[in-house]
Amino acid sequence: MIDLTPPMHENWSDELKAKAAAIRLIALDVDGIMSDGRLYFSATGDELKAFNILDGLGLKQLMSAGITVAVITGRRSPLTEKRMTDLGIPHLMQGREDKKVALQELVSTMNISPEQIAYMGDDLPDLPALQYAGLGITVPNGYWLVRQSADYCTSVQGGYGAVREACDLILWAQNRLQATLQPYLNGAS
């Protein structure tokens, strides 16, 4: 029998699990969260980004479980737009420096409260949105003040599966993780 309890669950307090259990929307920054935060440019000046496949499947599992996913980023990037389209993420807000205002605009159309929002960011432009949300999540390579303000800091760095860890936290707290994993376990013993 396979144990479907995430190994990092021992670091999840009852308060954190209660906050994660209430989440109906997760909003994410891109650079430093969905990517490693470094900017890559080709010799011709084209921007390149690397996205972690683990994060993508985690976001798809969240959406399958009824959690809305949004991306709010200060930069504009055709690569980000392509990746979010490929993942089926319904809400992409690019070029938004005031991420809290962007988040508030988004949720004003959704009939949810701040306690039902998770926000994941890594730097100062993310801080107001992270503090507004009921569950603020960051990464170990995030800015120290953001780490200090977050409810949870993932065990892995941004761009290396941190979003997947946040997805697992939410799904586990809502007793939905096993159901999202089960289709992959058929035939496993």
- Residues forming the annotated binding site? 29, 31, 122
Q: What share of the chain is helix, strand, coil (3-state, %, to 5)?
A: 45, 15, 40
Residue 118 structure tokens: 């998770």
Structure tokens at 142: 């995030």
Would you call 152 helix, strand, or coil by DSSP?
strand
Q: Which residues are annotated as part of the binding site for Mg(2+)?
A: 29, 122
Helix axes 53-64, 162-173, angle to 10 degrees: 20
Q: What angle do CA 77, 29, 57 make, to 5 degrees?
A: 90
Closest CA to 35 of 77, 88, 1, 67: 77
Residues marked as binding for substrate? Answer: 31
